[in-house]
Amino acid sequence: MKENQYFLQVDPQLTFNVNTQIKEQLKWLIGIGQMEAGDILPSASQLADELELNRNTVNWVYSQLRDEGLVTMQKGRGTQITGGSETKQLCEERKPMQQLLNNTIREAAAMGFDLKSFFVAGLAYSLLHPPYPASKLRILLVECRGHDHPFYRQSIERATNGEVETLFLDDISENKDAAREAVQRSHVIVTTLNHAEEAKALFAPFDSKVIVIGATIEASLLLEIAKLKQGTHVAFVCLGKTGGEWMANRIREAGINQLHFEIIGMNERERLNEAIQHLDKIYASAAVFPELKKMLPEKTELFPMKLEKSSENLLLELALQTAVKSGRS
């Protein structure tokens, strides 16, 4: 358990009570990962003193969080955040919301709106509309088996809260009917920069929109690799060799050339077993990292990928467009 730094506040001028204000702020802190499973919340007395509230108010909040499955309350141990399905679902919901709200807050502030008035007005405006049926964005991810397709799938799911089906380019040439059926089940096709032209050509006959997204890596990883000694023997390992080549290209593009590169796919078991003997360090994609870390814990490091910001914004826009269309239907 770690000690968290966070700031809660209450505003008696808002039109919903302080109990709800505290509860929803705590749910945000849990949902965006600032407070994690196992963390202990302040005692009711401590939080009540900090906020200048009655202790019973905080007890009500903690009881509500317990009833929602987000915390446990035990004498002598305090109020502890759980790691159950309710907490995981909250995180899945709130992280995409956070991105959308951050954008909205920036735009509203830039236009000079008072944020509290803006969001209270927004809540009232939503009440003028009938409830909308839930409609999830259905996305067809087109990738090859050699890249870290689980990373792209999970990133798309997080950004859109949509349903993602993966179709491998390796399989399309053998089964055109499966591709056609997958397109019919989907609202949009998403592929990566590596396969943009190929995917657009393949799906042109279906008259389907193809969205292209890209990934990048953390700058901290580049700095770490740049510090390796001249001649260090490094392997970049992904599900297949094409994924490893993508990883190595990101290092070459950064001008890091003092290393001896080796590119390996997890599907090349014999070659991987041979290379293990002389490698100084292995950088593994998220899809293969757990297995390699177990095999060679001292040599294996994660090669962390993240969506490019423009790609993330594009996916968020797709999700928003789907929500709007659902509301109009």
- 73 and 182 belong to one structural domain: no
Cα→Cα distances 272→269, 292, 298, 323, Å:
5, 10, 16, 46
Residue 32 lies in a domain: yes
Nearest CA to 208 out of 134, 310, 139 is that of: 139
Which residues, including other chains, have CB under 8 Å from residue 198's CB and lie 6 or more apart?
169
Residue 203 lies in a domain: yes
Q: What's the number of domains the chain is made of? A: 3
For 297, the token pair is: 């814990």
- 288 and 313 belong to one structural domain: no
Residue 30 lies in a domain: yes
- 85 and 144 belong to one structural domain: no
Per the document, the length of the chain is 329
Task: State whether residue 163 is helix, strand or coil.
Answer: strand
Residue 152 lies in a domain: yes
- 32 and 68 belong to one structural domain: yes
- Residue 64 belongs to what domain range? 18-94
- 231 and 299 belong to one structural domain: yes
pLDDT score recorded for residue 244 = 94
> CATH code at 79?
1.10.10.10
Question: pTM here?
Answer: 0.58
Alpha helices in the chain (DSSP H): 18-31, 44-51, 55-67, 85-110, 115-127, 149-160, 169-172, 176-184, 196-203, 219-226, 241-253, 269-275, 289-295, 309-328
Query: Rounded to an integer, what is the distance from CA 270 to the centroid of its chain?
Result: 34
Distance CA 301, CA 247 (A): 13
- 194 and 321 belong to one structural domain: yes
Residue 72 lies in a domain: yes
pLDDT string in tens for the chain (329-residue length): 454 555 666 556 555 688 888 999 999 999 999 999 989 999 999 999 999 989 999 999 999 999 888 999 888 889 999 988 889 889 888 888 898 899 899 999 999 999 988 988 888 887 776 655 556 788 999 999 999 999 999 999 999 988 999 988 887 766 667 778 888 888 889 999 989 998 888 888 877 778 999 999 988 999 999 999 999 999 999 999 999 999 999 999 999 989 998 999 999 989 988 988 899 999 999 999 999 999 999 999 999 999 999 999 989 888 877 665 544 44
CA-based torsion, 250, 33, 86, 137: positive or negative: negative
Q: Cα angle vertex 184, ends 315, 215, to 5°? A: 25
> CATH code at 313?
3.40.50
Residue 271 lies in a domain: yes
